[in-house]
Amino acid sequence: TPTSPLAPFPPPPELHTRVPEFYGFVAWTSTSLLFMVYSFWAILSDAYIQWFSVTWYPSR
């Protein structure tokens, strides 16, 4: 049992970087964009998809 309530070593310094925020923003943006593309692919007819010059796409 420790005799002192204080830890023998100082706590590690807290490093605040913005990298997790950046990765979260990129993940959120790319997921939203892919969902919109998937929704348009599912809703639009083949004529509209070909009008956007998309010549190959997976069958529904």
- 7 inside domain: no
Q: What is the pLDDT of residues 10-54, one digit of tens each?
A: 777 788 889 999 999 999 999 999 999 999 989 998 898 889 888
Instruction: State how many domains the chain has.
Output: 1
- 60 inside domain: no
- 36 inside domain: yes
Better-predicted residue by pLDDT, 56 or 26: 26
Residue 4 has what pLDDT? Answer: 60
CB 57 within 8 A of CB 41: yes
Residue 54 has what pLDDT? Answer: 84
pTM over cut 0.85: no
The Cα–Cα gap between 14 and 34 comes to 35
- 45 inside domain: yes
3-state helix/strand/coil string of the chain: CCCCCCCCCCCCCCCCCCHHHHHHHHHHHHHHHHHHHHHHHHHCCHHHHHHCCCCCCCCC
User: What residues make up the domain containing 38?
Assistant: 19-51
- 43 inside domain: yes
- 31 inside domain: yes
- 41 inside domain: yes
